[in-house]
Amino acid sequence: MTAPPTVEIVGGVEVPTGLFIGGQWIPGERTLDVRDPAADRRLSGVADAGVTDALDAVSAAHAAFGPWASAALRTRAEILRRAFEIMTAELDECARLIVLENGKSWADARGEAAYAAEFFRWFSEEACRVPGDFRMAPAGDKTIVVDHRPVGVAYLITPWNFPAAMATRKLAPALAAGCTAVLKPAGETPLTALWVARVLQRAGVPDGVVNVIATSRPGPVSELVLADRRVGALSFTGSTPVGKILLGQTARRALPSSMELGGNAPLLVLEGADVQDAVAGAMVAKMRNGGSACTAANRFYVHESLVTEFADAFEKALSTLSIGSGLDPANDLGALVSVRERDKVLDLVRRAEQEGGRPSASGTAPTTGAFLSPYVVRGVRHGQTLTREEIFGPVAPIVTVDSTDQAIAMANDTDYGLISYVFAKDRAEGISVARRLESAMVAVNRGVASDPAAPFGGMKESGLGREGGFAGIHEFLETQYIAVDL
Ligand code: NAD
């Protein structure tokens, strides 16, 4: 194990800032600046990978593949388990880095770090549990043997909104399956990914099994990596437009591709629902991560009998949030990832107003840094901008509906199909409505669904494939059938 020569202390946390290739921490020729959105200033710099570095990372991952793929399942499981234990013991460090480079609140960052560590635990357990198949063919002429093999080098691309969890949600199943990995984190949040890679190194991951290349040139770097025959799969989490560009590239090689893309989550408050429960759920579904989540409730369809009560209570709850730096655990709402991202969200609020919506802000946001007060926007009509665009910030457009059928029709009227939230009078109604929703995940009478033990993914343009649960490891496995003569 080589100690990183390129270490920086960022916010009191020791973090490697080099490229991580073949078990070595390598200073890059160029530097990628990392900013602190809460202070709106430079935080640190990491090595900025170019195309040669990316190909070096692929070579290292390719060289490490054979031994890792044939390592005992238990060996891989135990390394992942150690990674879980190290990370769990150091959650505060991870959370600090997340806050510093992403801006979110302390509770959200700590929650993310714990959720991220859980993927190591879950897939340490799954590593030994992939069933095969051995049986007689119905015609009685042969034996059917079905087994699974790792796809090879996995290229993993992650977004900035969950810099730890999106990395572990891919790394853990890839490693459990016997794949080696090249991880390309988002340029805004590379520090957390490098810290996670160091955890894996300390847990005993052999050199070359995990490689990390942060880069300011994701387009050319990724195109080259995906064209390389040594790469066996792509797993991408990010926006739908970038996902489609990448699918175009992977199509050239018919490369297995898992896509976790954008969302436009509806939250339904149906006639007879408990308004206080719906508001509590909405606070989580909308405000977790300051609204910068693919799973964030993006549009609220509320029955006309409850709409005023719901909007008033939601606004009241939002007004109690204190807004400020995530380094202070007393703050409930942190900064968005950048001033640019904040301005994009504000622009959506302005457009909603031009379209006849009535935005009202709650709480007081600091004036420096990428902070934004939460908004409830009343009087929005289905089809207007806020119900179509992924907002990615603390803005809640409220649409009045006159029936459950209308709420479902509007909820399904989108190209996305990631998650929906349903607040119904009881579980039975919630489940029956869930079955009519075109979304891969539905949370009934609760504001969060994500769980490492459950399949996460999207229908329609929200993605292909599933992460987590029993399905997650299969994104990194090929099925092989061997016909054996009797
Ligand atoms: P993004 O698509 O801009 O970037 C995602 C990643 O792709 C980053 O690492 C980025 O550097 C890289 N990238 C950008 N252009 C690229 C290109 N041409 N070729 C290769 N890689 C490229 O998304 P973002 O702004 O970082 O994240 C927000 C988006 O991610 C939202 O749309 C959100 O819904 C989505 N998201 C989805 C999930 C999910 O699980 N479905 C989870 C989190 C975020």
pLDDT above 60 for 4: no
- From ligand 1's centre to the CA of 117, what distance in Å? 21
* Ligand 1 contacts CB of residue 227 (under 6 A): no
- Residue 5 has a pLDDT of 58
Computed over its alpha carbons, how large is the radius of gyration of the chain?
A: 23
For the chain, which residues make up each domain, given as ranges?
A: 7-261+463-484, 265-451
- From ligand 1's centre to the CA of 255, what distance in Å? 19
pTM: 0.97
pLDDT tens sequence across 377-391: 999 999 999 999 999
Q: Is residue 25 a contact partner of residue 18, using CB atoms and an 8 Å limit?
A: yes
Within 8 A by CB and 6+ apart from 407, the residues are: 266, 268, 270, 301, 303, 401
pLDDT tens sequence across 255-279: 999 999 999 999 999 999 999 999 9
- From ligand 1's centre to the CA of 166, what distance in Å? 11
* Ligand 1 contacts CB of residue 291 (under 6 A): no
* Three-class SS state of 236: strand
Ligand 1 atom with minimal separation from the 418 CA:
41
pLDDT above 50 for 1: no
- Residue 3 has a pLDDT of 47
- Residue 486 has a pLDDT of 83
Ligand 1 atom with minimal separation from the 463 CA:
41
- From ligand 1's centre to the CA of 420, what distance in Å? 21
pLDDT above 90 for 6: no
Q: Is residue 77 a contact partner of residue 176, using CB atoms and an 8 Å limit?
A: yes
Q: Is residue 65 a contact partner of residue 180, using CB atoms and an 8 Å limit?
A: yes
Which regions of 336-418 does DSSP assign to beta strands (E)?
358-361, 375-378, 395-401, 416-417
- From ligand 1's centre to the CA of 163, what distance in Å? 11
CA distance 234 to 362: 41
Which residues face 20 on adjacent strands?
25, 212
* Ligand 1 contacts CB of residue 390 (under 6 A): yes
- From ligand 1's centre to the CA of 160, what distance in Å? 7
pLDDT tens sequence across 389-410: 999 999 999 999 999 999 999 9
**In testing the pocket of ligand 1, which one of 170, 237, 439 has its CB within 8 Å of the most ligand atoms?**
237
* Ligand 1 contacts CB of residue 393 (under 6 A): no
Residue-averaged pLDDT of the chain:
97
The domain defined by 265-451 carries CATH number 3.40.309.10: yes
Average pLDDT of 458-467?
98
Q: Is residue 479 a contact partner of residue 148, using CB atoms and an 8 Å limit?
A: yes
DSSP class of residue 3?
A: P
* Ligand 1 contacts CB of residue 463 (under 6 A): yes
| Residue 250, both tokens | 């992977």
Ligand 1 atom with minimal separation from the 159 CA:
26
Q: Is residue 418 a contact partner of residue 294, using CB atoms and an 8 Å limit?
A: yes
Q: Is residue 23 a contact partner of residue 211, using CB atoms and an 8 Å limit?
A: no
Catalytic residues: 260
End-to-end CA distance of the chain: 48
Taking every pair of Cα atoms in the chain, the longest distance, rounded to a whole number of angstroms, is 76
* Ligand 1 contacts CB of residue 373 (under 6 A): no
C-beta atoms surrounding 52 within 10 Å: 11
Task: Give the architecture-level CATH label for domain 7-261+463-484.
Answer: 3-Layer(aba) Sandwich (3.40)
* Ligand 1 contacts CB of residue 159 (under 6 A): yes
Average pLDDT of 365-377?
97
